[in-house]
Amino acid sequence: MFDSNENDPISPALRALLELFSTELAEVRFPDMNGEVLDAAAEQVREQAEAVARAQAALESARQALQESQEALLQKGQRALAYARVFSEENAELAARLEGIHLPKPTRKGATGGVETVSAAQGNDENAPRRRGRPPKARAASGASLFTDGATPEALAAHAHQTGNGMLSEA
């Protein structure tokens, strides 16, 4: 795992010394020190560095699992709080206690797989969720008359009188 010089846990100076004891000083023996002793110590350092890398990967995995568990608890807590608020409508004391509980906003997985907070941009229709139900009826522009199609109040009154569809008071 640490074969390249960039990821090697052994410093460049020690690597140079190891190289010397494996080439030019390979036959030289000092009391309790030679190339084999240095190679064994270097191998132990590399093994320990790999153990650290595995532990860091396991830690990252555990942190991710913790975050997912916390998110699941938050979602369940928000749902439970909403149910409890409906349940407490007739119990003022319980409702007051529930109003004191403020849970953070939920998060959701983004398209990139990372976690991002849910926040729709203000005034941005692209980010807003689709509205449910029937679309609202078209409303007349402000300042427009009820008789924008050309009918006058007098013509409408005459039509209502002829058809018997309503009574308009004569004022």
- pLDDT at 121 (0 to 100): 43
- pLDDT at 145 (0 to 100): 55
Q: Are 168 and 160 in contact (CB under 8 A)?
A: yes
- Average pLDDT, stretch 52-70? 96
- CA dist., res. 99 & res. 113, Å (int): 34
Residue 61 has pLDDT above 50, yes or no: yes
In percent, the amount of the chain with pLDDT more than 90 equals: 48
pLDDT (tens digit, 9 = 90+) per residue, 89-144? 999 999 999 999 999 987 765 544 444 444 444 445 555 677 777 777 776 555 55
In percent, the amount of the chain with pLDDT more than 70 equals: 65
- pLDDT at 107 (0 to 100): 72
Residue 157 has pLDDT above 90, yes or no: no
- CA dist., res. 36 & res. 26, Å (int): 9
- What are the backbone dihedrals phi and psi of residue 33, each rounded to the nearest 5 degrees, phi first? -145, 125
- CA dist., res. 157 & res. 6, Å (int): 92
The pTM of this model reads: 0.49
DSSP per-residue letters across 21-51: HHTTTTT--BTTBSHHHHHHHHHHHHHHHHH
**What's the mean per-residue pLDDT of the chain?**
79
Q: Are 82 and 54 in contact (CB under 8 A)?
A: no
Residue 67 has pLDDT above 90, yes or no: yes
- For tokens 């941005």, the residue is 124
Q: Are 63 and 71 in contact (CB under 8 A)?
A: no
The domain locations on the chain are 12-100
Q: Are 160 and 166 in contact (CB under 8 A)?
A: yes
